[in-house]
A = this chain, B = another copy of it.
Amino acid sequence: MSGMWTVKVVGLGVVALSLSVELLGWLLHRLRPKRTRTEVLFFPSEMACLEHIFAPSSPQSCCCPLPHGVETSFTRLVRCILSASSSLDVCVFAFSNMDLCKAVLTLQCRGVTIRVLCDKDYAAILGSQIGVLRRAGICARCDMGSVYMHHKFAVVDNRLLITGSLNWTMTAVQSNKENVIVTEDPNLSLEIQERSA
């Protein structure tokens, strides 16, 4: 009888141990803080060729004098924009940067739903890319209010928020001291998108 009880107790112990280990694993998996992607990009950015980002399948096909294959703040920014698979919402005071325009046009070719909103005063200035975007069939609108639409953010796939002091201009990218925050924090990306709608 005592032998049987020992076997039962040991058996129960093994079952309890294995269940505990399983529970522990599940708890660790469920409760481990999810690491939200967060990054700060600083500008001015070094100038570098973007060919390896726009055409990654044909490396070193570009003969321009800029450094090739270099990662900079600007290449990071372009990569973030190009990561869009379903939607891109851009809400920036000024949009005259041709590389960023090329990124948006690339997404348009991939079937990504794009909306662009700029300030009306800046959209009328020489070099604004709003006309280029419109001619490509992209929904690019101007805020017609009497005050500045001074936001500088974009939301990729309703998930990734890109925001900061940086207007989408060449001067901002190559000259000014600027910062851009890239974050997947769902509170931020959803709130900023909904409330500025």
Contacts and interface: CB of A to CB of B under 8 A. Distances in A.
Candidate in A32, A40, A93 with the most chain B CB atoms within 10 angstroms: A40
Nearest to A172: B150
Task: Tell me how many chains of this kind the complex includes.
Answer: 2
Contacts of A38: 185, 187-188
B147 A44 contact: yes
A103 to B, nearest CB: 21
A86 interface: no
Contacts of A151: 165, 177-179
Interface stretch (A1-9, A54-62, A133-141): A1-9
A165 B196 CA distance: 13
Contacts of A9: 5, 9, 12
Closest 3 CB pairs of A and B: A31-B31, A33-B33, A147-B175
